[in-house]
Amino acid sequence: MKPFEKYLLNRTTLPNSHTLAVYQANGGYKALEKVLKKPMTPAEIIAEMKASNLRGRGGAGFPCGMKWSFMPDPAKDPRPRYLAVNADESEPGTCKDRVLMEKDPHGLIEGCLIAAYAMKLQAVYIYVRGEYRKSYDTLLAAIAEARKAGLVGKRVMGTDFSCEVWMHKGAGAYICGEETGLMESLEGKRGHPRPKPPFPAGFGLWGQPTTVNNVETIFNVPFIVERGGAWLASIGTQNSKGNFLCGISGHVNKPGVYELPFGVTAREIVDEVAGGIWKGRKCKAWFPGGSSCALLRGEDLDVVLDHDSLRAKGSSLGTAAMIVMDDTTSIARVMEIIARFYDHESCGQCSQCREGTQWLAQIFHRIATGHGKPDDVATLESLAKGMAPAKTICALADAAAIPTLSAVRIFKSELEECIRQAKDPLAPPRIEYAGAH
């Protein structure tokens, strides 16, 4: 791998990296100072964000500067407006935002304040996954420290800019990471996604203009303001710019969250960063960016990890959370676990998703336990095609259908062999629990 400069995780290894003193001693809040004291205009910041080509790190990869520019001009639309930071981080395999929140919370707060200034808003809500108690407590303490230092609240740094940052804790539902489910939940309602349009920039939190951004997306903002959009755009590949956090898990020797520039190959990440496949085995299959992406084969590890290259391979970057499986892995069992997750997390509003996820889980279960029926693979395929693409209110149904379609395409013969033999030769011993299908 070519040498590259890290910037996202540099502070996270310092002792007491979560404190204001350490953050400021390492250049923290200088970008906010530049914005407020130079001063930069909101339009100038949005222009830098657009120039950087930063794409959202929450899964969909939408250009951040463009998203911010969708917020209506307050001169024409004086309604209150909000930024909601998506820290729900529940996509299986994904655990990158947690590192930022626990180890460098002021980086996120500074990013929120700059984003708020750029979008001319005064209230930011950070929606943290319910299970992330440490992230929540660390951020809460950091916000209190920042408020005491005049960095959050009224007249930030003694200027005319005021901004509050509020925290909200989720209650353990994956669907509350979907941006409209998140907003419903923040409003105190059941986290049921809303049909789009209207989009959040026009009708968001409490019906007001709102931008929803992922933690890592916002964390990039102070760096872009300090060093310029052109600097970020100089890193990476044609349509994927900057460094990104790659969470790698599964059958590798050194799972973890690593900072990497777009342009590295998946094989470089597995072999040089994550210490190779464990026990000297081979890679059989892998998810590039969480379980909602299409599975790829072990032979596909030479693909570059960026939006375009993964799309060309029939998958996607998602949250850049690689899940690696060795050659002893049962695909039926993996898919059973994944399907059960989506079945459990479906909010139930759309029949394709509510019924489809339940059937996917049942069928993968019976294949994995030796009770598969001769036409099960065909049924899986037709079920998944009935669920996606974009046939439901939100993309959870797609998230269940996409890995299913890839498993059926790539590992059809393995699934059919389980059915033919009336057992899964690769299945590990089962630990049954109450509620299993």
**Binding residues vs ligand SF4 (CB under 6 A):** 175, 193, 346-350, 353-354, 392-394, 396-397
Which 8-state DSSP code applies to residue 271?
I
Q: Which does 179 bind (CB under 5 to 8 A by kind): ligand FMN, ligand SF4, none?
A: ligand FMN
- List residues binding ligand FMN (CB under 6 A): 56-60, 62, 67, 86, 88-91, 174-175, 177-179, 212-214, 217, 394-396, 399
Q: Which does 392 bind (CB under 5 to 8 A by kind): ligand SF4, ligand FMN, none?
A: ligand SF4
**Measured CA angle at 273 (ends 267, 278), to 5 deg:** 75
Report the residue number, 118 or 273, with the smaller CB distance to ligand FMN.
118
Beta carbon of residue 49, minimum distance to ligand SF4 (angstroms, whole number): 29
The total number of residues shown for the chain amounts to 437
Q: Which of 202, 309, 236 is nearest to 266 (CA)?
A: 309
**Facing residues of 324 across strands?**
250, 286
Q: Is residue 294 within 8 Å of 286, Cβ to Cβ?
A: no
Q: How many CB atoms sit inside 10 A of residue 236's CB?
A: 22
Report the residue number, 179 or 259, with the smaller CB distance to ligand SF4.
179
Q: Which does 267 bind (CB under 5 to 8 A by kind): ligand SF4, ligand FMN, none?
A: none
Residue type, 293: C
Beta carbon of residue 202, minimum distance to ligand FMN (angstroms, whole number): 16
Q: Which does 211 bind (CB under 5 to 8 A by kind): ligand SF4, ligand FMN, none?
A: none
Place of tokens 């049909």: 195
Encoding tokens for residue 98? 């947690």
Report the residue number, 178 or 343, with the smaller CB distance to ligand FMN.
178
Report the residue number, 31 or 393, with the smaller CB distance to ligand SF4.
393
Beta carbon of residue 238, minimum distance to ligand FMN (angstroms, whole number): 19
Contacts of 58 (CB under 8 A, 6+ apart): 86, 177, 213, 214, 216, 217, 319
Cα distance between residue 117 and residue 163, in whole Å = 8
Q: Which does 177 bind (CB under 5 to 8 A by kind): ligand FMN, ligand SF4, none?
A: ligand FMN
Contacts of 273 (CB under 8 A, 6+ apart): 1, 246, 248, 254, 258, 260
Name the closest residue to ligand SF4 (Cβ). Answer: 353
Report the residue number, 56 or 298, with the smaller CB distance to ligand FMN.
56
